Amino acid sequence: MKLYSTNNKDLRVSFKEAVFNSMPQDKGLYMPVEIPQLDTEFVQNIEQYSLPEIAYQVASTLLKEEIPAEDLRALINDAINFDAPAVQLDDKTFVLELFHGPSLAFKDFGARFMSRVMAYFLKDGEQLLDVLVATSGDTGGAVALGFLGVPNTRVTILYPEGKVSPIQELQLTTNGENIRAVEVKGTFDDCQALVKQAFADRELNAKFRLTSANSINISRLIPQTFYYFNTYAQLKKQGFEDVIFSVPSGNFGNIGAGLLAYKLGLPVKQFIAATNVNDTVPRFLESGVYETRPSTQTYSNAMDVGAPSNWVRIMDLFDQDVEAVKKMVTSYRFTDDETLEGIKEIDKNLNYVACPHTAIAYLAIEKYRNENPADNSAAVFLSTAHACKFPDIFPAEIAAKIEIPVQVKALESKPKHADQLGIDFEGFKEYLLKG
């Protein structure tokens, strides 16, 4: 598997190099030179396969000779050791539950796969691998648990002060060992900017072996394709052929993975990018003008991204053809008030408790159906995080229905530790140099 930069299509690097370098020096993002097609017979009979079997088939098609077959199979079986059920809520509506991993968020797929890939490639005696990650909520917890105890690695997680939920913060700040948390007096966009500046800094790169665990890393994106194929398999087993996915979208890595799956051969009729008021992409698809703005804090905090990094990958997948993107991607935005109403509506009509991100994906399905009444496709909205992570958002009668997982209860007894920094890069650089 060879990869190029979205800023330089003549560049060629190996998968291993892209995983460890994370982002090219030209500040583009790595993309595969070739997107191979999955075997047609496999896709036609996909309902016969389990999630790990599907994951192996997809990964081996993309990675080819990068990792020997048996090693890759063992890596996947270790990383993807939890379910992702598509729960049917009515005749043609499903919720894809992606919160059954250890951090209770969809990002466990990417973080666990990536940490195992990095551990596989790391050799004894090599320089310590410094993993930098910015989080708006769930990424940090997934990365922390994915890398906790992995030899020869150190993880630095940047998160915005006061803009993650209490449970999310505990997941970031109570790990110890090779995981350290940094509370930044700013927004997620500020955290992300600090990480990107670090990768472009010559002095830091000369001293440290830096890589990222954000969705800018291609090894985060690949495993997220697994659950799109697995969901299609679950629906196909029930007789559904036409499928629409509604994806809560912040940094656009999740829907980017879905579109990569589509390019690999996944039969999908439509993708819906569901955002909160941080609506850079909906505005772009409406006006043709791509204009980023400072992020705004919302109830759906993992989507509070004003400058979504992965949008460049999506445009690259479609050769910068805006009209081609618009045919495959519809996008809607929703306010916090609408999100709360969505939570209540799902509870009342479908007897399901949805986190605010999930509620936005549901609202997008309903809006799409209202605008396309003749479309009878099965609709899947992605539930990206467990509702227990957002206790202060729910009305009391809905909050009472949330079951608190054992691992969350265990967090409450652990001491929190986080370093505090401002948004200036020199301060962050000094922090890193001090080790």
Classify residue 87 as exposed, middle or buried by CB count within 10 Å of its CB (0-12, 13-18, 19+): middle
Distance in angstroms (rounded) separating the CA atoms of residues 269 and 59: 23
DSSP 16-85: HHHHHH-S-TTS--EEES--PPPPHHHHHTGGGS-HHHHHHHHHHHHHGGGS-HHHHHHHHHHH--S---
Rounded Cα distance, 134 and 423, in Å: 12
Catalytic site includes residue 107? yes
d(CA 6, CA 322): 16
Burial label for 179, CB within 10 Å (0-12, 13-18, 19+), is buried
Query: Where does 305-373 have alpha helices with state H?
Result: 311-317, 322-328, 336-350, 356-371
Cα gap 31→88, rounded to integer Å:
34
Q: What is the DSSP string of 387-434?
A: GGG-TTTS-HHHHTTPPPPHHHHHHTTSPP--EEE-S-HHHHHHHHHH
Please give the single-letter amino acid code of residue 20. Answer: F
Residues 299-327: b if buried by 16+ CB within 10 A, e if exposed: bbbbbbbbbbbbbbbbbbbbeeeeeebee
| H-type alpha helices, 212-295 | 218-237, 253-264, 280-287
Two structure tokens written together for 277: 């008021």
How many alpha carbons lie under 13 Å from residue 112 in its C-beta half-sphere? 23
Maximum pairwise Cα distance, the chain: 61
Residue 112 pairs with which residues in a beta bridge?
none
Catalytic residue, candidates 16, 64, 107, 416: 107
CA-to-CA distance for 283 and 289, rounded, in angstroms? Answer: 7
Q: Which residues fall within 8 angstroms of residue 148, CB to CB, at 6 or more apart? A: 175, 177, 178, 179
Active site residues per annotation: 107
